[in-house]
Structure 1
Amino acid sequence: MRKLLVVVDMQKDFVDGALGTKEAVAIVPAVIEKIKSYDKKDIFVTRDTHQPDYMETQEGHNLPVEHCVEGTAGWELDKEVAAVVDGATFVNKPTFGSVKLAEMISDIASKEEIEIELIGLCTDICVVSNALMLKAHMPEVHISVDSKCCAGVTPEKHEAALETMRSCQIDVR
């Protein structure tokens, strides 16, 4: 069975930049160790990718903090994480969940048996969105989330997102 790892939005703006938190900074070492345990060909790395007009978008109106604008320092992966993902597949996504990611992994699942593990930021926004999209595309594929390699906007929202994923038959470890 092939085991895939999805590393969600481990970007500077979410770790220690515009929307960073101490909890996000704290998971970086565990994220790096998790990444090192997978073959690079089995790793998918998402990047939240906004354009300079972000503040004029629906998301910008609801979350008026400019972040992850393509080409900026905040859009780049955390330096320590970037150092261990060379050779992975990168997926830029304009919003919380990635249809492209779900389609890419569904294509793999149509050819071989897989499991999917998710880690990253933020548990209550992009991690949960991608986990649920993957589950909707592949209801019979085992999907898990390593809670020690995720952080939410707040610890309370992190826990709420983990509970939502448990309710949707995603294995929270």
Structure 2
Amino acid sequence: MHLHSGVFKGIIVVIIIIGVWGADMKRCLIVVDYQNDFVSGSLGFEKAKALDGCICEKIRECRKAGGDILFTMDTHGRDYLKTREGRSIPVEHCIKGTNGHCLYGNTAQEAREEDLYFEKSTYGSDALYEYLKTAAYDSIELCGVVSNICVLSNAVLAKTALPESEIKIDARCTASNDDRLNEEVLDVLASINVEITNRV
């Protein structure tokens, strides 16, 4: 089959336009709460450990594409158990100044000083929301833990801050300590137009 030269040129133009648009997209990766206490510490679980390589891969891909890397950092004080969350989840975690508050594993090695860090004392980060409203990203990808709590909360904030932007989550790069809730939250996220990729 032979393409008419005009049709062929049209296809080439479309490919070039798509390529230029993709290159000009402003994008970021939000790594949610991938901290020692959520991976190997007081609230850690095996599936969280398994995400390290995938998250590192996402960070490198985003940097290569010229994107920004954002980290949310769950952050509590010594009075955590007296807070409303502490009464609901009575396990000390991510206490500022402790090793449990630090990023985990190879992901910690991939982090750079110039990356953006958002400390938060609750599930969603209001500072992240305010930043995203002014950042005008075309594409936002989230990864990290826990899928049905803080990943969900910050995905909703990202969608609220930038309703016309692409918001996506790679199912390989998030997890919960409850498999049923993990599957259910991916359904919920898909229902609010968050793109879920690589879901088995």
Query: How far apart are the structure 2 equivalents of 1:129 and 1:71?
Result: 24
Q: Say whether residues 1:21 and 2:41 are aligned partners.
A: no
Q: Does the 8 A contact of 2:27 with 2:67 survive in 1? A: no
Aligned to 1:60: 86
User: Which residue identity is paired with 1:5?
Assistant: L
- Report runs of 4+ in structure 1 exceeding 2 Å deviation: none
Q: Does the 8 A contact of 1:116 with 1:142 survive in 2? A: yes
Aligned-residue identity in percent? 38
Query: How far apart are the structure 2 equivalents of 1:43 and 1:101?
Result: 12
In structure 1, runs of 5+ residues without a counterpart are none
Q: Say whether residues 1:48 and 2:74 are aligned partners.
A: yes
Q: Say whether residues 1:90 and 2:114 are aligned partners.
A: no
Deviation at 1:153, TM superposition (A): 2.5
In structure 2, runs of 5+ residues without a counterpart are 1-24
Query: How far apart are the structure 1 equivalents of 2:158 and 2:81?
Result: 28
SS at match of 2:73: strand
Q: Say whether residues 1:79 and 2:105 are aligned partners.
A: yes
Q: Does the 8 A contact of 1:60 with 1:66 survive in 2? A: yes
Deviation at 1:41, TM superposition (A): 5.9
User: Which residue identity is paired with 1:45?
Assistant: F
Q: Say whether residues 1:107 and 2:134 are aligned partners.
A: yes
Q: Say whether residues 1:4 and 2:53 are aligned partners.
A: no
Deviation at 1:126, TM superposition (A): 0.3
Query: How far apart are the structure 2 equivalents of 1:29 and 1:164?
Result: 26
Aligned to 1:32: 56
Aligned residues: 170
Deviation at 1:26, TM superposition (A): 0.9
- Structure with the higher helix share, 1 or 2: 2
Query: How far apart are the structure 2 equivalents of 1:59 and 1:143?
Result: 27
User: Which residue identity is paired with 1:13?
Assistant: D
Larger Rg: 2
Aligned to 1:133: 157
TM-score, normalised by the number of residues in structure 1? 0.94
